[in-house]
Amino acid sequence: MIPSEKYTLNELEKKLEIKTPSIEQRIAPNWLRAQDYQLFVKRDDLIHPIISGNKWRKLKYQLLSVLSRKTAHADCHVISFGGGYSNHIHALAYCCHQLNIRMTANIRGDYSQNLTPMLVDIEQLGCEIKFVTKSHYKRRNDDDYLNELKLTHPSAVIIPEGGSHELALPGISELVKEFNHQYDIIICPVASAGTFAGLIKNCTRASALHGIAMLKGRDYLESETMRLLPKAELASNWQIHHNFHCGGYARKTLDLVKFCQEFESDTNIPIEPVYSGKMLYALKQLVETQYFPVGAKILAIHTGGLQGKRQS
């Protein structure tokens, strides 16, 4: 008989060599008015070289649930969604490879003639890649589409884009439990909103939560947050800032690129322009305009994603 592979959370983290808790690093960047605040960065980028940052936090309970279904009889298969540079797909493909889980990635757009470094990696990790059109990809969260997918792949577990599923929230609660201080302000990037929803659910009401929209998504990002966390509507300690996306998802301006270079040489913390850099660039502007009360203790969540820095 083939033994079923059931893991406890500890065994899973040990097997994948996850290094938590992540450190909270005090920073003193050379920004105007930076001395008016106590600034910290939670270095979730350091928890794993590949499954970095919020993707591990969001995936861990989903992977445990997939593994709990893995028996001698049931074929274990994960289907997920992402763009050609997706940190989520990259992290998930690595986990599936290490854990012997079959994976299919539905990738938005056709990169078959020009694979990105991320796609080259996941192909090597044994992930099956399906390029889908933008209109097909749009249906990724539609009930009728997901029901069809379940019917054609009855043994598969479908993990939504970005890993932002209800089961992502308990992983974010562990990040919150690691905090070494009571923070007045907590700031993080928002894309599929799972991380932000998890923070809203788990931080005390004494902290103000500021999400920075990584894409043009006024109202949409608020509703995604509330879809994951219906009770978020009741809390008044959170808001999403929509004026720092620099033109849209993965768009960058020269100022943003320059900021990222300066921040890295100033603090020795590596960042990239799609998420962590954009979020910290927003923080710099909020600090310089004294948006927050003077003296506030501010924590920025470094959500990782440094693989996305590689060019195709």
Ligand X SMILES: *Cc1c(COP(=O)(O)O)cnc(C)c1O
Binding site for ligand X (CB under 6 A): 53-55, 87-88, 162, 164, 189-196, 275-276, 303-305
In the complex, which residue's CB is closest to ligand X?
A: 305
Q: Shortest gap between Cβ of 61 and ligand X (angstroms)?
A: 14
Handedness of CA 278, 283, 285, 286 (dihedral sign): positive
Pairs from 3-6 (Cβ < 8 Å, separation ≥ 24)? 3/72, 4/70, 4/71, 4/72, 5/67, 5/70, 5/99, 5/100, 6/67, 6/68, 6/70
If the CB atoms of residues 24 and 44 are measured against ligand X, the closer one turns out to be 44
Token pair recorded at residue 151 = 């019917």
Q: How far apart are CA 8 and CA 178, in angstroms?
A: 20
- Give 193 or 229: the residue with its C-beta nearer to ligand X: 193
Cβ closest to ligand X, residue 76 vs residue 246: 246
Provide, for the chain, the percentages of residues in helix, strand and coil under a 3-state DSSP scheme, each rounded to the nearest 5.
Answer: 45, 15, 40
Nearer to ligand X, 37 or 305 (CB): 305
User: Is the CB of 75 or the CB of 178 nearer to ligand X?
Assistant: 178
Q: How many residues does the chain have?
A: 312
Q: How far is the CB of 164 from ligand X (least distance, A)?
A: 5
Nearer to ligand X, 89 or 156 (CB): 89
Residue (24 or 161) nearer to ligand X, CB = 161
Provide the phi-psi class of 122: left if phi over 0, else alpha when psi is between -120 and 50, else beta: alpha
Bridge partners of residue 299, in order along the sequence: 40, 186
Bridge-partner residues for 103, per DSSP?
78
- Which amino acid does the sequence have at 129? I
> In the complex, what is the shortest distance from the CB of residue 51 to ligand X, in angstroms, rounded to a whole number?
11
**Cβ atoms within 10 Å, residue 202:** 16
Q: State the minimum distance, in angstroms, from the CB of residue 206 to ligand X.
A: 23
Q: Shortest Cβ distance from residue 300 to ligand X (Å)?
A: 11
CB of 284 to ligand X, least distance (A): 17
Minimum CB–partner distance for residue 39 and ligand X (Å): 19
